[in-house]
Amino acid sequence: MNNISIGSWITLNHFSIIEIMADAGFDWLCVDLEHSVVDYYEAEVLIATIQAKGIKPFVRVGHNDELIIKRVLDAGAQGIIVPMINSKEDAIKAVNAVKYPPQGTRGVGLARAQNYGFSFENYAKTVNSQTTVIAQIEHIDAINNLDEILTVEGIDGTIIGPYDLSGSMGKPGKYDDQDVKEVLLKYEKISKKFDKPFGYHVIKPDHQLLLEKIKTGYSFLAFSLDTLFLGTIIRQEMEKFREALK
């Protein structure tokens, strides 16, 4: 996690989307269960497809809930992004849900991740160290508690949610507001102090924006999402086509 890690977001529940995006060279792909209609079975198919392409499957769960986390881990997820981690207690709860005892409290099941029971012993030996836990920082309370959040053993890194963060300040989407800028700078400063990877979801499919974040020190970067990659090239080319007809 100390190196730059680039992934993208999956919201469309079709394995072909995974196959196309995986071949673009991402390090990981994240199935979004918070803001999509992807269900558990579809998530398992998408996770399996990501793994078949040789990259790491993340899942952004919809809530810091041990049942949700347990189910996607049993489906084969190797990284979990947990939204609205606002306190040390929230971070501990997320880690406990991901890790088997004695590091956590995750319940044991025999599903796809454990090769349906036939590889459980090997899985149990490695899963705690090989599963990445990312805390999503997207509320002003999280910024105020960030020092404590980053002290929690098992939190491998964070990713900022700038829109919800600005919303929690009563300034949704106002990234040029001075107060919002200062809070983002505080996030970066504290993260660097703890030497843990910190991340950003660059929504616009423009690689220059990725480079800007890397220069600032961000190393866990989500680059756009399936719908925007698809929609952007369609709109650009159709606009060029209509202009050519004039």
DSSP 74-89: HTT-SEEEES---SHH
Q: Distance between CA 114 and CA 160 in Å, rounded?
A: 32
Q: Where are the alpha helices (DSSP H) in the chain?
A: 15-22, 40-52, 66-74, 88-98, 120-130, 140-144, 146-149, 162-168, 178-194, 207-216, 226-245
Tell how strand 28-32 and strand 56-60 pair up.
parallel
* End-to-end Cα spacing for the chain: 51
Strands (E), 88-219: 132-137, 157-160, 198-202
Structure tokens, 206: 């423009």
Catalytic residue among 35, 63, 139, 207: 35
Q: Which of 1, 2, 4 is nearest to 210 (CA)?
A: 4
Identify the burial level of 215 via C-beta atoms within 10 angstroms of its C-beta, where 0-12 means exposed, 13-18 middle and 19 or more buried.
exposed
Q: Is 35 annotated in the active site?
A: yes
CB–CB of 51/75 below 8 Å? no
Structure tokens, 155: 């939190």
Q: No. of H helices and E strands in the chain?
A: 11, 8
CB–CB of 32/68 below 8 Å? no
Any idea which residues carry the catalytic annotation?
35
